[in-house]
């Protein structure tokens, strides 16, 4: 059974938007220290390349925490596995085309229809789709999708370790003139 409802908003985002229920807001900030986690040992070479790519994109935003290492490693392994499965899919389609050509058959509609015509192809397609869905959800949590990235940039999360400009004691732009 999946999770119910949308993911909860961070304290920083709730401070920015305001609380509709007029209850006190939690103090903004993370319970964990910000910083780039160490790359875990035992990762595959492809996953290490994905790790480097993700860390290069996320480190300047200041959103990574030390405790995110395991989740990020799992995401990187999943992406590496997806790339491997996609390469395997292309090889399977090419093999199916060679077999059909050797038997004198014509494949209807191209590669994807021919892939769906075999039991192995359907299983591979289902696995690729499930893995891509899991990767998409994990990327959303790390702010790696366009919508999540825009949300993080607009909320100011990661600037100065998660302290937002509208948080108590922090002044920025027009607020600086008011804070005086």
Task: Give the residues across from 65 on adjacent strands.
Answer: 34
Alpha carbon distance 161, 30 (integer Å): 8
pLDDT digits (tens, 9 = 90+) for 23-63: 777 666 667 788 899 999 999 999 999 999 999 988 888 88
pLDDT digit string (tens) for 85-143?
989 888 888 887 788 788 877 655 555 556 777 788 788 888 999 999 999 988 888 87
How many other CB atoms sit within 10 Å of the CB of residue 108?
A: 8
**pTM given for the model:** 0.66
Q: What is the number of alpha carbons within 13 Å of residue 171 lying toward its C-beta?
A: 7
DSSP line for 105-130 = ---SSSHHHHHHTSHHHHHHHHHHHH
How much is the pLDDT for 79? 95
């Amino acid at each position: 059974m999946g999770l119910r409802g949308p993911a909860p908003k961070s304290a920083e985002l709730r401070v920015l938007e305001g609380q509709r229920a007029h209850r006190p807001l939690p103090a903004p900030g993370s319970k964990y220290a910000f910083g780039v986690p160490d790359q875990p040992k035992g990762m595959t070479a492809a996953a290490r390349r994905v790790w480097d790519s993700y860390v290069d994109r996320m480190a300047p935003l200041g959103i990574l925490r030390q405790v995110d290492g395991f989740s990020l490693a799992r995401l990187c392994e999943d992406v590496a596995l997806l790339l491997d499965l996609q390469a395997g899919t292309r090889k399977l389609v090419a093999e199916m085309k060679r077999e059909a050509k050797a038997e004198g058959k014509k494949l209807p509609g191209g590669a994807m229809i021919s892939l769906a015509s075999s039991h192995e192809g359907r299983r591979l397609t289902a696995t690729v789709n499930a893995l891509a869905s899991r990767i998409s959800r994990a990327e959303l949590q790390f702010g790696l999708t366009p919508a999540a990235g825009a949300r993080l940039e607009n909320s100011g999360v990661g600037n100065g370790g998660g302290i937002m400009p509208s948080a108590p004691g922090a002044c920025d732009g027009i607020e600086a003139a008011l804070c005086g």
